[in-house]
Amino acid sequence: MVQVPNGFTVVVGLGLSGQAICRHLTQLGRPFMVADTREAPPGVEAFRQTYPDVQVHCGSLAALDFCQAYEVVISPGVDPRTAGLEGLLERHNPATGEPMLVGEIALFKRAVKAPIAAITGSNAKSTVTTLLGEMAAASGINAAVGGNLGTPALDLLAQQPDADLYILELSSFQLETTPSLGAASAAFLNLCDDHLDRHGDLEGYRQAKQRIFIGAEHAVVNADDPQTWPDQPLEHIEHFGVHTPRDAAWGLVEQQGHWWLMQGKTPWLLADELRITGQHNYANALAALAMGRALGFDKASMCGALKAFVGLPHRSETIAELNGVRWVNDSKGTNVGATLAAINGIGTTLQGKLLLLAGGVGKGADFSPLAAPLANSARTAIVFGADAPRLAEALNEAIPVERVEHLTQAMEVAFAMAKPGDCVLLSPACASLDQFANYQARGDAFRHWVEHKRSELTP
């Protein structure tokens, strides 16, 4: 048994967040040691060179005795139920009043002086976080943007200590170890099956995300998804959705064949002016507008930022039009909810039909919710990868299904089948790790194939 030195903080996990935690503790002058469940975590030797006096434990956490530890801070990728950490969430640190086991965001909250805007959800949180940051910049607000997206929160604090506002994308993994966030504005965008291997079931996943509302001054929630609504009463709650808004809620209204982004009866922006397309992206814009208005951003500046926003790579990203067929990269669609949003958002805008490319590692998800919307808007589904058989079984009664081995084959089949006015949509509803390093590599493969095909077709 390895005894944690008396009064030391234990940092668990040597990834990006773990190293940000170490930098933060060094700045505070707090003694710490590091533990990682892997016998040889990547970067451990470089870490030892940077921190030659810091003890590093690799292997089972059950070999550590935490009795004299000041605190245990875990990286988001480490499950707080990992063997060896039992009971730490129930024990409390007499110095902080918080659980003995916390995550990076708890340290961030203790140190931050400026307000926090926080965004979570199964899907679209990176888009809304980035868009809110663009709106803040356009409004002349010195905002720092990061968290689960881009720069770790504790590094933001070090890099931009004088920020007027911190805009954070937060995952369920980060929130489940955050005792209290106290956000000036907190958004819970949507909920669908994801990370059930970590949280046990959908309710466990929802409860982790609900923690974003602890101590919040203002909440933005999905009018069409009551599971995103706070379990505990909050004084200021605003709803957004893709339907006609009630009262002062945010929504979409169709007038003379054009969609308007509205707050209640007040028009804010004509959807035709946006560079992002699809009703799911209009909903993202409405969520960002609701947060920005509550945070005091300038209306004209917000609308200008929204009109200039082109979206993020791999998220309903139009790559090209080939022979009258639109090719859209939504490789970030790694769960059923994200793919549903893309199908519903894009399918309603087409003169033709969708050709869905889906497949990969399904993480045990139920694919059957995809069947009905595809029956309404799709020509076919072309499935590939590890869970192609499960996808085919879920969809083949609703639409024709083609099964292939790899994404490249799926694109070749789609190119042969698509007709002018159609859209080939890569939105896999699955993780990528059976065939690609990550969703970015999968999206890049899609992009490169489309761009190569475009060059072949160009005279």
pLDDT tens-digit profile of 112-148?
999 999 999 999 999 999 999 999 999 999 999 999 9
Instruction: List pLDDT tens digits, range 340-357.
Output: 989 998 988 889 999 999
10-residue mean pLDDT series, the chain (459 residues): 96 95 98 96 95 97 96 95 93 91 97 98 95 98 96 97 98 96 98 76 94 98 97 96 96 94 97 91 97 98 96 91 96 93 89 97 92 97 98 97 98 98 97 96 98 92
* Phi, psi (degrees; rounded to nearest 5) at 132: -65, -35
Domain segments of the chain: what residues? 2-103, 112-308, 317-457
The CATH number given to 2-103 is: 3.40.50.720
**CATH architecture assigned to 112-308:** 3-Layer(aba) Sandwich (3.40)
- The CATH number that domain 317-457 falls under is 3.90.190.20
- For residue 148, indicate whether it is catalytic: yes
Say which of 24, 109, 123, 125 is annotated catalytic. Answer: 125
Q: How far is residue 10 from each of residues 13, 39, 109, 201, 322, measured CA to CA in Å?
A: 10, 17, 18, 29, 55
* Closest listed residue to residue 53, CA positions, set 29, 69, 39, 33: 33
Query: Catalytic: which of 24, 109, 123, 148?
Result: 148
Marked catalytic residue, from 195, 299, 307, 453: 195
pLDDT at 114: 98
Active site includes 195?
yes
In the annotation, is 199 catalytic? no
**pLDDT for res 277:** 84
pLDDT score for 459: 77
> Residue 93's CB: how many other CB atoms inside 10 A?
16
